[in-house]
Structure formats: structure tokens, C-alpha cells
Amino acid sequence: MKKRKDFAVLMHLLFSLLVVVGVSIMYSNSHYGEGIHWINHETYEDTPEFTRQLKSDIDDIFNYVKYKEVFETNGKLDYSKPIVRVIEGPGTTTEYTVDEMIRRAKSLGYYLNEQFKVSGGQPAADSSDSYVRVDYRAYEPDFKITEPGEAFLTMDQLAYEVLTHLGNYYSFFYRFIQNPSNLKFEVLYQNTPEDYKLYSNVTGKSINDFKSMGRYLYVTGEALYVDSNLTTVPQNISSQLEKMNPYNNGNYHMTIAVDTTYPYSDAYAKAAASYDQMRLLFITGMISLCLGILGCIATLYALVSMIGQSDRKQSGPLERIDRLPAESCLLLYSVAAILALFLANRLANKIIHLFFAVDHWDYGELALRVLIYYAAGLSAALSLLKRYKAGNLWTGSLMHGGFKNLSLYFKNRRFTTRIMLSYTLFLVFNVAMTMAFAFLLFTYNSLESRILMGAVALLFFCLDFWIFHQMYKNAWETDQINEALLNISRGDTTYKINTLKFNGKERELAEHINHISTGLETALQEKVRSERLKADLITNVSHDIKTPLTSIINYVDLIKREKIQDPKIQGYLEVLEQKSQRLKTLTEDLVEASKASSGNLKLDITSIDFVELIHQTNGEFEEKFALRNLELVSTLPADSILIEADGRYLWRVLENLYNNAFKYAMEHSRVYVDVTLEENMAVFTMKNISQNPLNIRADELTERFVRGDVARTTEGSGLGISIAKSLAELQGGELRLYIDGDLFKAGVAFPVKK
């Protein structure tokens, strides 16, 4: 089926080309506009071309009559005849013959070419060639001076003028006297039977002989009319004939005939052959036009019949261009036509000007425009027909999609509202510019200009509406994406976007967000599972360690009660007791850290006097700090500051901070403690100078098993700060750490109870 359609398209193009060729042949014919009547009812002799040629030749005949008297003697060319007379000075008159003037012209480089025209250029007057007064010209005996300057010429200019007239004489003599011609003429001026002047290129022919040749013209000095069978008789023949009469009588006649059998090859024979060829070409153009029209109709019918058949039978997909909406297809073909017209105006018309005559430029440009319109219109019509047969002409159109998505514009959208306002301003500006352009364009009455303006306006409207729809849809999709991100940021990792309503990059972005949501949900589940397994592992391991550790501690205590006297063994027991107690503390801290970080603690939130709690903590650790000669300096407000927290776990936070200061503060230094109010927050701050260099970031101290004492020469598990941070955050507070050189600063902040 595809091959048949391709063949039908090819044949339609060929028949369309045949129509163009036929019209072009008929239009370029010189008889265009005369209908078809001339084909059977007109001959070359009836045409204006024949009349113009004959009139020109009659004028040449009269010139020949004049030149014959000037250049001939007894029917022979006489180079010794005087041709001009000039006055070179007062009382000095000189005559020059034809031969003298020819030799002067030759000396100047002048010559007669193949068409008997003077070549070499007309001489310009110079100082070496003085002016002379021309007294007489044999070829212009009746010349009258109208201006003083007309009587003066240089001898070079006069030689050029004589040679020009001699060339005219040679031209006529060559065409009609020396060579046979289809034009026969006879001019006779008679005074007496012995005294007459005859000018002719044929002898022994009567008037009837002339008439029998075809087209003729017979003029006498006694008749007041011209005997002729010409379609149009040239004017002023009688007056010119009378003007050149050398005798004072009416005994003269002029007979001219054209042999319409055209036995000789001359201008008439060539023009007649060209006329017959034009007739044949016109008939060929008519046949080509008729065949092209019939072929176009037949192939167009075949195309219409075959369009869409393969789509129905084979259920194959439409071609790519046919899957576009109908409006987009029309717009595409319109743009293609406008682009083709632009290229035709810029390039193709220039090529037409190379191959066509100036008279046919308008036709060539018109034919090209018609072809472009026809090709674009036919392609668009066949594409719409294919959609119609496939059943998606309406369902696949932009109008259908616009009505379907119309409800989208009535929904309350945040971003879309701004887009609608912006686009409204854009549309108002666009419409204003279009109206201004239309006003300027419609000042011209060209129908083509108005059609083009309408197409451009429709194009602007379709593009604007499509842009608006895309902008609005993108805005709606952006709102959907923003809503999804907002829900995910709030912790709803199960939120998903319906990507079926999205297109392009927005669809990809929505799918990526869904993947992120799925990934977060999976990661969260893995995190929960990992924390649960970690907590279970810590609990089980701690339990497994705690049971034998308790036995070790108990047995150490029992051995000590035996009052062993050996000091060496007593030292071993002290180390064993110390390390077992440290291991017990580490196990308890590990379990507590796990519970604190996972939030698996039951809190008893009550109102607590934060200032009072710090006083009590200072009292608890004052003696302990004295063991390392640490001076506790506190700055506490006199008024109470109430916060909400769990007293037991808050005490553990403070205890860990105080113990951390006891372990790592430099001996014989001060530890500063103060409580302040900062923007509705009760802030406890502890500052001390570290005994060891702090080559660690403050945020790393909150990680598990990280200690400021890198050498680990002090006791500690590295969990104190981490436990304090987790417990503080669990109660709604926060732990703040700062390190500036050897200065260590820790703070605990809780919201003040209102």
C-alpha cells in the first residue's frame, strides 16, 4: 500500500508539473490573451509583427531610392561622386568624393562590421581637427539649419557620418538586391517613355504577378487610395512617394509584394517559421494543461482513497508529523509555506530572472507562489484527512486537549496565580502590538498582504495560547512538586506524586522526588532496624558481660576479706578491683547511651528550679574538685529560673559535665560556672582550661568513644559528653560545646517555663 501511495504522490507531482509547464508555455507565447481563435483563423501575415517588419522595409526602400541617387551612377556604385561640400574659409569651398571620405574614415580606424554598422567609435573633436562649415550633403539635400552650431563639424565627424549612410546603403543592397528576398518591390517615376527612374529588385513582373505572390501593396500617383490586401496598411506611403518624385507629374507608382510561400530564407521566412512554432507550442501547452488537470484529478482521487487504509488494516502507527495535533500540523505547514515564500522572494525569484525575460518575471514569480500554496495546502489537507480516517482528528487536536484541561485553570494555585497575572500582561502587550501591526498593514489594499497578516495573527494567537498553557501547566506541576517536598520535609516519607499528569523535565523531577521519598523511607526503616539491632546487641552484650563481672567483683571482695598480708597480692587485688569497677561503669554507660540516643527512656517532666539545681551540683562536686586543686567559681542569678525537664536525667547531664571538668581541667586552675537568660532560654555555662592540648573539633566530642585526652591517660569511656547531649535533646534542650585553644566551654540550654 505504501508503494502505491508513493507512486500516486509521484504521479500527482508529475501531472502538477505538467499543468505548470502547459500554463507556462501558453503564457510565454506572444499570442497569450488572444484566446484560441487565432490558432485556426490567423496567419503570420495577419499579425502586427508582419506589419511592423513590412513598414520598416518600406522605409528602407525609400531610403534606398535616395541612396541610389547619391552613391550610384548608371546603376553602379560610383566612389568618385561628390558626397559633401564644405567651406573651409572665406571664399574657399571644397568638395569631397565618396572615396575620399571613405579613405579618411579608414585612416581613423573606422570600418563596417557584418551588420554594416560603423565600428571603432565616433571621433571626438580635438584641437588638431578644426571645424568646417558643411555647405552641402548629397544624402540630405533638403537639410535646413535650425541652430548655428548644426552647420559646423570636424572632417573626422563628417567622415563618420558619410560612412554611416554608406553602411545603410550597403545593408539594403545586401538584403534586397544582391541576395534573393521574399520581399519584391518596384518604384517607378516616369516623365516620358525614355525619361524615367526605376528602382526594383525584380524585373518583368506585372501588377498581377505581384498580387499573385500573396500579400501586396500597390500605390499610384493618380489614385487616392492604396490597393492592398494587408491587414493594416502602413501610413504616409503616398506622401513619401510624392515627396521623392523627381518629375512634376503624377506618373509614378510603387508596388510591393511578399511571397507568402517564403522560398528564400530571410527575415520574413524566419518570422513565419517562428510563428508556426509558437502556434505549435500553444497547442502543446493546451494539451499539456488538459492532460495535467485530468491527471491531477485522477491521482488526487486515488490519494484520497488510499489515505489511511494502511492505518486501519495494519493498525500501524501514524507517521511522526501525523501524530502532531491538527492545529500544530496546520501551523507547521503555514510556517513552511511562509518560509518557502521568503526563500522564493530572496533566492528563487533571482533564479527566475536569469532564465525568463523581463516581461515574464511576474508570471514566473506568480507561478512559484501558486506552487508553494498548492503544495502546502495539499499536504495539510491530506494530513487532516489521514487523521479523520484514523479517528483522531478531534481527539488529537489542541482544542480537545484545551477543553479537557480547562478545569485546571479554575483551581486555586499559588504559583499559577502569579503566572496568570504575568501572562495576562504579556498577552495584552502582544495583542496591542498585533493590532498596531494590523492597522499599518491594512492601510495597503493588497489582498495578499491581508491574507498574510491574518495568517501571522493566527500564528501569534496559537503560539501565545500554547505558551500560556505550557507555562500554566509547568506552574501547576511546580506546585505539585513543592507540595511533595514540603510533605517529605515534614517527615512523610511515604508521599508520592502522580507522574502521569507530568511531562518533560517536570516529570523526570517528579520521578526523582518519588525515588528520593522511597529511598528515605527505605533508609529510615533500615536506620530504625539498625538502631533496634544495635540496642538489642548492646543490651545482650552488656547483660552477658555484667553476669561474670558481678562474680568477679564479688570474688575480689571475698578475697580482700581474707586479710592477705602479702603486699604484692594486695596490689594485684587493688588493680583488679579498680578495673572491674571501671568495666562495670563502662557497661552501664553503654546501655544508658544506647537508650538515650534511641529515645527509649521514660521521662518524668516536672518544673525544676535551674539555679537551685546548679547550687546543689556545685556543693556535690566542691570537695571532689578540691582533690585536684580546682577552684569552682560560680556566677548565679539571685532569682529562680524555672525550666521543664526530668530531674534525674538533667542531673545526669550536669554530672557528666562536672566529671568531664574534673578529669580534664588543668590542676590548680579555676572552673567557671554561670547561669544566664538568653532569649527565653536558661543557659548553663561551664568553662575551664584543658590540661592536655585539644587537637579536636568541638562537634567530634559529642560522638561516642571520643575523648579529649588522646593519650587516654585519664579514666573515662568517652561516652559522657555523648550521653549528656542525647539526654539534653531528649528533654527538649540542647548541649553546646566550644573550643578556643586550651579553653573548653560547655553549655546546656533549656526553654524557660512561662
User: Helix, strand, or coil here: 391?
Assistant: coil
Q: Which three cell numbers stand for residue 672?
A: 567557671
C-beta separation of 287 from 14 below 8 A: no
pLDDT in tens, 192-245: 988 999 999 998 899 999 999 999 999 998 888 899 999 888 888 888 898 888
Quote the CA–CA distance of 192 and 40 in Å, as a whole number.
Answer: 49
Q: Which CATH architecture has domain 602-751?
A: 2-Layer Sandwich (3.30)
User: Helix, strand, or coil here: 244?
Assistant: coil
- The CB-side HSE value for 275 (13 A sphere, CA atoms) comes to 18
Nearby residues of 312 by Cβ (< 8 Å), 6 or more positions away:
389, 390
Quote the CA–CA distance of 596 and 660 in Å, as a whole number.
Answer: 19
CA distances from 269 to 47, 217, 273 (A): 14, 19, 6
C-beta separation of 385 from 303 below 8 A: no
pLDDT of residue 603: 81
CB atoms within 10 A of CB 91: 6
pLDDT of residue 710: 44
Q: Which three cell numbers stand for residue 721?
A: 559528653
Task: Annotate 65-112 with DSSP letters as a single string.
Answer: HHHHHHHEETTEE-TTSEEEEEEEETTEEEEEEHHHHHHHHHHTT-EE
Helix pair 155-172, 48-71: axis angle to 10 deg = 120
pLDDT of residue 707: 44
**pLDDT mean for each 10 residues of the chain (754 residues):** 76 83 73 64 85 92 90 89 87 89 90 89 58 85 74 86 92 90 94 90 91 94 88 88 88 94 92 87 85 87 73 48 70 80 75 67 72 78 73 68 58 56 70 69 61 67 74 81 86 83 78 85 81 70 74 81 80 80 69 62 87 92 92 92 90 89 92 92 93 74 48 49 81 88 90 88
Please tell me if the domain spanning 493-600 has the same topology as the one spanning 602-751.
no
Q: Which three cell numbers stand for residue 71?
A: 552613391
Nearest to 70, CA basis, from 244, 243, 238: 244
With a threshold of 0.85, does the pTM exceed it?
A: no
- First-to-last C-alpha distance (Å) of the chain: 87
pLDDT of residue 269: 93
Q: Hunting for cell 501514524 — which residue is that?
A: 318
Quote the CA–CA distance of 710 and 695 in Å, as a whole number.
Answer: 9
| Angle, alpha carbons 734-738-739 (nearest 5°) | 155
Quote the CA–CA distance of 115 and 175 in Å, as a whole number.
Answer: 11
Helix residue spans in 566-664 (DSSP H)? 567-598, 610-626, 647-664
CATH of 493-600, one of 3.40.1130, 1.10.287, 3.40.50, 2.60.40: 1.10.287
Q: Where are the domains of the chain?
A: 48-72+180-259, 79-166, 326-404, 405-489, 493-600, 602-751
